[in-house]
Structures are given as C-alpha cells and as structure tokens.
C-alpha cells in the first residue's frame, strides 16, 4: 500500500513539473499558420518565428507567458479578448517579457513585424 502511494505521489509531481498542453483551438500556430512558424519545441519551451506583413491581422489566438525578441522596428495594434486595444512600438534588437494573453495583432506601421517568441511551458 505504501508503495502505491509513493508511485502515485511521484507521478503527480511529474505531472505538475511538466504540464501537458491540451489541444487548444486558439493555439497560435494553428490559428496564425500564415504568419507564425515553429522553430523549436521541447518539454520546456516552444520557439515561434512570427512575421506579419504591413496591414495584415492575425486572428484571435493565445500565447502562454514568455520572452519576445524583436528583430525589426515596427508598430502593431493588439486587441485583447476583453476588447481592449493598444498600439505598441517595437524596436529591433530589443526583447521583453510577455504575460499570457489572448489577442489579435495587426501590423499598422510602414514596416513588417518580425519577432521570435519563446513560450515557456511551465
């Protein structure tokens, strides 16, 4: 009986340490297949190359928390799931922390956006 409790505890700890990703209908790689491409994925991170031409909008999609590295300088407009819209200037060669979000994104400036998103799985 003690052995069963120990195994169950270890399995529970492993599940919490390495959470499973459910089939998400708002997964950015599915919803934004024209603009987002997978570079690397393992049990810790998912790295996405995100390039949005000027005037193009990505549909509503989800990202977990992580780091975004901006490769070009651009302006985009983001609208979150609750309807809040913000305009953001991104500078090439910089990076920022990004909390988990559900949003749409449109490149509204004169240059296309290009960013690498490093999504953490924990």
* Domain assignment of residue 1, yes or no: no
pLDDT of res. 18:
42
Q: Residue 42 sits in which domain range? A: 23-120
Region 21-44: what's the mean pLDDT? 93
User: 19 with 65: CB under 8 angstroms?
Assistant: no
Provide the Cα torsion 50, 71, 46, 55; round to 10°.
-20
* Domain assignment of residue 4, yes or no: no
* Domain assignment of residue 94, yes or no: yes
pLDDT of res. 66:
98
Residues with Cβ < 8 Å from 47, sequence gap 6 or more?
38, 39, 40, 41, 116, 117, 118, 119
Region 37-59: what's the mean pLDDT? 98
pLDDT of res. 7:
35
Check residues 19 and 69 and name the one with the higher pLDDT.
69
| Distance, CA of 109 to CA of 90 (rounded, Å) | 10
Q: Which two tokens stand for residue 121?
A: 């799985």
* Domain assignment of residue 101, yes or no: yes
Q: What is the pLDDT of residues 73-102, one digit of tens each?
A: 999 999 999 999 999 999 999 999 999 999
Region 23-44: what's the mean pLDDT? 97
- Total of domains in the chain: 1
What CATH number has the domain bearing residue 100?
Answer: 2.60.120.10
């Amino acid at each position: 009986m003690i052995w069963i409790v120990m195994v169950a505890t270890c399995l529970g700890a492993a599940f919490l340490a390495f959470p499973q990703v459910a089939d998400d209908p708002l997964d950015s790689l599915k919803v934004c297949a024209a603009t987002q491409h997978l570079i690397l994925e393992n049990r810790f991170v998912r790295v996405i190359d995100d390039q949005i031409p000027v005037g193009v909008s990505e549909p509503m999609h989800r990202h977990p928390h992580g780091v975004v590295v901006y490769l070009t300088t651009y302006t985009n407009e983001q609208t979150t799931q609750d309807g809040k819209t913000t305009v953001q200037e991104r500078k090439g060669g910089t990076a920022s922390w990004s909390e988990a979000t559900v949003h749409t994104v449109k490149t509204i400036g004169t240059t296309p956006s290009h960013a690498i998103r490093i999504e953490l799985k924990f």
